[in-house]
Chain A
Amino acid sequence: MKSSWLEKNTFHYSEFNDLDRLVEEKQRKNLKISLCLPTLNEEKTIAKEILIMKSELMTRYPLLDELVVIDSGSTDKTRKIARAYGADVYEATEILPDLEQFKGKGENLWKALYVTKGDIIVYIDADIKNIHHRFVYALLGPLILFDNIKYVKAFYDRPIAIGKSKIRPTGGGRVTELVIRPLFSLFFPELTQILQPLSGEYAGFREIFEAIPFPIGYGVETSIILDIYDKWGLDVIAQVDLDRRIHRNQDTRTLGKMAFVILMTFINRIKKLGLVDIKENLFNEMIQYNLVQNEYNPDIFKIEGHERPPIIEIPAYRDKFKKSL
C-alpha cells in the first residue's frame, strides 16, 4: 500500500486562506470555476450558503464565476429563496429533458455538468448549518495550486497527527466506518487513506467528471472515488480538512438505506473491475421491519440502481462544449 499519499495529499483549509493568491493563480491559468449546490427541500440553509459564497468568493474575491442550484423538485421554498439571492436555479427535470428522468443527488450533480461553464466544478451539500467560504476555497486550493491534483475531497472535525507518536483514530460517520472503510480495506487498501469518502463536498476538473458515470442516488460519492482511482490513480486525488461541519443527524434506518445503496454501487464496481464474480443478480430491495400493533410489517425500499453514463457520451453535451469522444 502506498502510504505516503496521506501525508503528501492531505491538507488543512488554512493552507489556502490566502485568497488573493488563489485568485491570481486562477486568472493566470485562465480557469473558470462553477459552484453547484444540489438541493431537495433546503429552504432553511440554502440562502445562507448562497449569500456567503457570493459575498466572499464572487464579490470580494472573484474566485467563483457562477453559482448554480440544481433542485430535485423541492416542495418548500428552496428554489424561490435561491433565486431571490441571485443563484442560477434549475429543476433537474428541465435539463436535458429528452432523456429519461430520474430523481436523486447524483442526477443533479451529473446534470450540473451540462448547465455549468466552469473548468472546475465544486459540489457542496446545501444543508450545512455552519457554512463558511472555507468549504469552497479550501477544495479549490489544491486544484488551482498543484498541477497534478484533479479531484479534491473534504473531511471534517477529526484532526489527525501524522508522523507523530500520538495518532488519534479518525474517520467519518457510521456508514463510512461500518460499510465503506471495511470494503476499502478488503478491496482497495490504498483508498482507506481517504478519511471521509462519503463527505458531500468535493471539487474537480470537468475533464474528470465528464469521463465517469454518475449513479443517480447515494452511491455517487463512492463511485466517483472508485472510478477516478481506477482511471487516473490515487495521486490525482487530494483531501482537505475543513474543520467542523454541522448538518442534520440521520437516524439509523435512513443510514441503513444509504448503506444499502452504497453496497450496491460498490459491488457493481468491483464486479465490473473483475475483482469478484457473483453468479446471480443482486436483489434491489432493502427490507426493514416495523412493529405495528404486535405485528412485524416489512418496510421495503426499492432501488433501481440507475446510473448515468459519462456525460461526454451524450451528444447534446458534446455539441454544447464542442468536444469529441
Chain B
Amino acid sequence: MDSYLDNLPAFVDTIKSIKETIITNIVLIGQVPSPTFKEKRRTSIFMERLAEFNVDECTTDGYRNPIGIIKGTSKTKPPIFVVAHLDTIWGTEIDHYYTIKENSITGAGIMDNSIGVGVLVSLPDIFRKLNLSFESDIVLAGVIQSLGKGNLRGIRHLLKTWATPIRGAVCIESNELGRLNYYADGMTRCEIDCNISAINGWEHKFKPNAILILNEVINQILKLRLPQKPRSRVIIGKMSGGFKHGMIANDARLGFEIQSNSDKMVKSIFNNIKDIVEGISHEYEVELKLKTLSNIRAARIKFNHPLVKSTVDVMKKLGLTPVSEPSESELSIFLSRKIPAVTLGITRGENYQQTNAMVEIEPMFKGIAQIIGVIMAIDSGVCDEE
C-alpha cells in the first residue's frame, strides 16, 4: 500500500501536465445549464466526452444517469464507483459561460459541481497518463436529480438497480479541498405553506397575515428543546411570501431541515413540528400544509475504517489536512446500503452557490491526485476487510 502513497506527490505534476484537457472538460460540461430535473443536455455532453476518452462502456441506466465503465483486470473483484452529481441550482436563464484567468475559473455552478463533473470525465485520460490500471472495474457515474427536490433520486436508483456488489465509492465535489466526509446525518427536508383565502368577507375582518403565521411557527420551533446528544438541529433555511409592501400577505412558504445523527430524533422532531403546525392552523383558522421534500437516513463508517484511515494517509501524503463534517449527499446513499464510501473536494474557492462562484486552478491537481490515491487504496483492498 505504501508504494502507491509514495507515488502520489509525483502524480500531481503529471496530472498538471494535462491541465488543458481537464479544464476543457470542466468548461464544456459546466457551461451547459443543468437545473435539477433538466439535466438532459449535460448528460449528453457527459456521455459524448466519456466516449471521446475511449472508456470501455458508455451508457445510461434506466433512470438516465450517464455511466462510463473502465474495465478492470480481475473478473471477480466488485467495481469501484466514482460519482459526481450533474445537477446545479441554476436555471437555464442564468449565464453559464465561464471566465478563466491565470489561476481561476469563475461562473455559475463551477463550485457545485462543474469541477467535480469535469474531473470525473477526465479520469480515463488521467489514468492513461499515469499509466494506471485497476483490478476492479471503475464505474464513472454522473448522477442526476441530486439537489433539493431531486432528493438524490439518481444515485438511489443507480444503486438500487445495480446488480452486483460494489467494492467502495468516492463521491467528488468541487469544493472544498481537504474535506473528508465519511458519515451522513439523518435529515428530513420540509416546507410549510401558508395560504389565506383572498376573498374578503366578514369572517376575515381581521385577516391573518401568512408571513406572521409562519413567524409564529418559527418562534415555536425555536422553543423546542433539542438534545446535545444525539446531536440535533433544525435549520430554518428559506422563506418567501407576500405580494407587495402595503398588502397583508396571503401566502408564505418556509423551508427547513431537521438534522440529527439519530434517525429516531429526526422523526421525533418532525412530529413535534407537525404538532406545532396543526396547533397554529387550528388556533388561527388558516390553512397550513407541512410537506416532506426529502429524507436521508443517518449512516456512517467509523473513523478507524480502513477506507477512512487510508484516505487520511493519502491526504496527509499530499500535505492536506482532513476536515470532517456530516454530508447529506450521494455519500449517504452509499453508506445506507453498507457500501464504504467517502466524499472528497477538489479545490478551494469563493462565492459558493453564487453566479460569480470562483475556484482556484492550482490546488485542483492535488485534489485530483487525492481522488486517484483513494481509488488505488480501494483497489488494493481496504474496503474488503470488514
Contacts and interface: CB of A to CB of B under 8 A. Distances in A.
Interface residues of B, number: 14
A59 B21 contact: yes
Contacts of A132: 28
A52 B26 CA distance: 10
B20 A77 contact: no
Given A51-B27, A52-B28, A130-B31, A43 B101 contact: yes
A121 to B, nearest CB: 22
A37 B309 CA distance: 49
Contacts of A48: 27, 98-100
Interface in B20-58: 20-21, 23-24, 27-28, 31
Given A52-B27, A55-B24, A80 B97 contact: no
A129 B98 CA distance: 8
B101 A56 contact: no
A58 to B, nearest CB: 8
A246 B100 CA distance: 16
A59 B21 CA distance: 8
Interface string B82-126: 000000000000000111111000000000000000000000000
Contact of A45 (B23, B24, B31, B99): B99
Contact of A44 (B23, B24, B99): B99
A246 to B, nearest CB: 7
A45 B107 CA distance: 12
Nearest to B23: A51
Interface in A87-143: 129-130, 132
A84 B24 contact: no
A270 to B, nearest CB: 40
Nearest to A83: B102
Contacts of B130: none
B20 A59 contact: yes
A60 interface: yes
A257 interface: no
A54 to B, nearest CB: 5
A216 interface: no
Nearest to A46: B100
A170 to B, nearest CB: 24
B100 A51 contact: yes
A224 interface: no
B323 interface: no
B18 interface: yes
Contact of B21 (A43, A45, A55, A246): A55
A81 interface: yes
Nearest to B52: A60
Interface in A182-212: none
Nearest to B32: A130
Given A51-B27, A52-B28, A59-B18, A129 B101 contact: no
Contacts of A85: 20
Given A52-B28, A132-B28, A47 B100 contact: yes
A52 B24 contact: yes
Interface string A33-74: 000000000011101100110111001100000000000000
Nearest to A54: B20
A45 B101 CA distance: 9
Contacts of B27: 48, 51-52
B20 A130 contact: no
Contacts of B20: 51-52, 54-55, 59, 85-86
B24 A246 contact: no
Contacts of B24: 51-52, 55-56
A86 B17 CA distance: 12
Contacts of B101: 43, 47, 77, 81
A307 B24 CA distance: 38
A13 B358 CA distance: 32
Q: Which of B18, B21, B24 has the most CB of A within 10 A?
A: B24
B102 A60 contact: no
B97 A84 contact: no
A81 B104 CA distance: 11
Contacts of B21: 55, 59-60
A54 B27 CA distance: 14
A80 B100 contact: no
A80 B21 CA distance: 21
A133 to B, nearest CB: 8
A130 to B, nearest CB: 6
Interface of A: 43-45, 47-48, 51-52, 54-56, 59-60, 77, 80-81, 84-86, 129-130, 132, 246
7 contacts: A44-B99, A48-B99, A51-B24, A59-B21, A81-B101, A129-B97, A132-B28
Closest 6 CB pairs of A and B: A55-B20, A47-B100, A55-B24, A129-B97, A55-B21, A54-B20
